[in-house]
Structure 1
Amino acid sequence: MSTITSSAADGFIDRLPANVRFFLVHGSDEGLAHERVKAIVRKLVGVDPDPLRLVRLEGDALARRPDGLAEEAYAVSMFGGSRVIWIDAQGRDLMPALEPLFARPPAECAIVIKAPQLKKGHALRTAFEKIANVASIECYSDEPKALGLLIDAEVGNAGLTIAPDARAALIDELGADRQTSRAEIAKLILFAGGKPRIELDDVRAIVSDAAPSPLDDLVDQALVGDLQQAADSSARYFNEGGDADPLIVRLVARLTLLHRLRLEMEAGHSFDAACQTLYVRLPPDARRSLAKAAERWTSEAIAQRLPNVRAVSAKVRISPELSDLLASRALWALASRRRPAQ
């Protein structure tokens, strides 16, 4: 068994051990988990793998038919070479499907599982903590050092530099989710245009959480459950020419922050203590809205809905003619969710 901390995960993936055939990639940062699963797959079967060497399976399907995993894992590749099965766990119980493979590991197939945050004692996490030649890879929000490396890499790849004070400010504003962080850095690079260096004013002007935004009120209305206000505000926003893409980016960022806060609170911390731990800095009105949303949601409920909101983000870019409707429905779905019984 190898439990790989989030800070050590990238180095582990760069030097992937040949004897490990089962990988569990899990944690609160869903975007980072997805990125690391892709990196593992690239290490095992290449950047552009033959479709016959990479199989994608959903947790729902395996829960209905557990023996389907063994059939895929023990199948012999038609043209030879190792294979990978990528499983999106979706919160399903995968143990009935995995236990036969743990007992008799496939020789030419690796199993890579992407899972949400798993509590200590969860059957899947426990199995990966006890069995030899498996790896449990944690994915938690980036620490400042990792964010700095990410910023340097993205800015350098764009042929730009970034001023030290701008870099420090950007680190303070990112980190809730790896995919959202990349999206914010990409927007900043685009905003910088032909300038050779990104300055502090650029960060203040473009990064989502660097300054109050009119989108915050709309997002908060949905998360606190004010369906009528959210519907009215979204209609007004789009009637005035608002863009769905930044709205959904904002929504993902706030949901991710709320998920991190709920994890802290469910570990026994107060809302204020959780905000202090996560360095949350918001204006008083936004902080009150966030506290109200934190009373309404649980970490489990947020983890169930985040993938759907991320899927909306992708659909908005693919189908701009439907973007207003897709974004509005995402907000309505969150606003109409009933608060769980206490």
Structure 2
Amino acid sequence: MAKLRADQLDSALRKQLAPVYLVSGDEPLLVQEACDTIREAARRAGFTERERHHVEAGFDWEELLTSANSLSLFADKKILELRIDNGKPGDKGGKALLSYCEQPSEDNLLLIVTPKLDGSAQRSKWFKAVEKTGAFVQIWPIAAPQLPRWIDQRMQQAGLRADRDAIDMLAARVEGNLLAATQEIEKLKLLANDDGLVSTETVAGAVADSARYDVFNLIDKALHGDARSAIKTLQGLRGEGTDATVVLWALAREIRTLSQMAHALQQGNSMDRAAKSAGVWDKRKPLVNNALRRLKQPQLQMLLRKANGVDKAIKGLRNADAWDELMDLTLNLSGVFSLSPAVQRLSLL
């Protein structure tokens, strides 16, 4: 069977139920909904039992195969749900999945759930066996430009209508949090007019600001070079009462990591080696690499001095507003420098 998008899944299930499904993606709501759709189709086909397995350290893969080969006391068909949180079954798991796919049982439906799988995982033998035997459902995240359309479709499914301004306002409020968007749409169903019309005023009055403000989100946006979003997140952290020391800790730690990597690169080390030495995970390498293209070693050293100055301001040892200086530090990490290096040095005195 071919790869399926989430929007193709329902029609494919109505035509044929595969013995194995692999649902992969990093958007929890969409992954959950795809799994729900598969389970519902399986229940209609007589798979009334459901057995869940979570792959963790020491997981017994023989247990999965034994369960697949054992008949229920009532001879009911069952769904075997296998959740692999790191997306890597390992050697034993790969062999077990290959063995299962060689002779899938008509009494079982195997549903495998993983995070987004990279190219290496999709070239593995176990993945190719699963894809050949069943179906691979790849869940793509909803990008910011696509979010208004997604919200509009969801509102229509809920029997609601809204103009573009109301949809854009809702999209801005939830800031990519699909679960929050779904919850707010449910709330709006109770507040809409009898004809299902949702106005901008209704959204403004009813929808809570569900944007996720946290220090790690702040760091990621700054590394990406998205100064506007980084500052918005910083303001959100301040509004939520976050301690300035926590924000400074996160910014200073990231700047030290970048400085360490910049020094290693100057010494002729490869990006992979520099990242490994600095403790940077593979998933974060693109973000860090993006920042290092903008920020050179002298700038990073200056940012470390500025971070030290912010620390003194927080402790009352400098006559400066800590949050104003955190904003400047965040802008600098995002690649925005409002002052010349000479003037910046003077500002630290």
Mark the CA change 1:3 to 1:75 in structure 2 (over 3 Å): closer, same or farther. Answer: same
Aligned residues: 240
| Distance apart, 1:193 and its partner CA | 8.2
User: Is 1:15 the equivalent of 2:19?
Assistant: no
Post-superposition offset of 1:18 = 2.7
Structure 2 Cα separation of the partners of residues 80 and 293 of structure 1: 60
Q: Distance in 1 between matches of 2:235 and 2:170?
A: 20
8 Å contact kept, 1:29–1:176: no
| CA distances 1:272-313 after superposition (whole Å, capped 9, x unpaired) | 2xx59xx95963844997994995996869xxxxxxxxxxxx
Which gives a bigger RCO, structure 1 or 2 (Cα 8 Å, sep 6+)? 1
2:319 aligns to what? none
Q: Deviations over 1:14-41 (max 9, x none)?
A: 3315362111111120221112111101
Render the CA deviation track for 1:179-224: whole Å, top value 9, x for unaligned: 33212322344455879532112323443448xx8xx7xx43xx35
**SS at 1:15 equivalent:** helix
Task: Give the gaps of 5 or more residues in structure 2.
Answer: 238-246, 258-279, 285-349
- What is the 5 A alignment of 1:127-142? 127-129=126-128, 131-142=131-142
Gap regions ≥5 residues in structure 1: 225-254, 302-342
CA RMSD, 1 decimal: 4.2
Whether the 8 Å contact between 2:97 and 2:126 is mirrored in structure 1 is: no
Q: Distance in 2 between matches of 1:38 and 1:184?
A: 21
Larger Rg: 2
- Alignment equivalent of 1:271, drawn from 216, 221, 224: 224
Distance across 2 between alignment mates of 1:163 and 1:97: 52
Cα distance in 1 between the residues matched to 2:105 and 2:229: 46
Residues 81-132 of structure 1: CA deviation (Å, up to 9, x unaligned): 5321112212252424312102222222111111112222126876334541
Q: Is the 8 A contact 1:32 1:179 kept in 2?
A: no
Q: What is the TM-score when the length of structure 2 is the normalising length? A: 0.55
Alignment match of 1:150 (pick from 127, 150, 154): 154
The equivalent residue for 2:169 is 169
Which one of the candidate residues 16, 31, 34 is aligned to 1:33? 31
- Tell me, what secondary structure is at the counterpart of 2:56? helix
Maintained 8 Å contact 2:170/2:181: no
Whichever residue aligns with residue 232 of structure 2, its letter is P
TM-score, normalised to structure 1, is: 0.56
SS at 1:283's partner residue?
A: helix
Q: Contact 1:148–1:167 (CA<8 Å) still a contact in 2?
A: yes
Equivalent position of 1:58 in the other structure: 54
| Mapped pair 1:202 → 2:219 | no
1:75 aligns with 2:74: no
- Report the Cα distance in structure 1 between the residues aligned to 2:174 and 2:2, rounded to whole angstroms: 29
CA distance in 2, matches of 1:196, 1:23: 37
Residues 128 and 135 in structure 1, CA contact (< 8 A), matched pair in contact too:
no
1:147: how far off? 3.1
- Give distance in 2, aligned partners of 1:184 and 1:299: 35
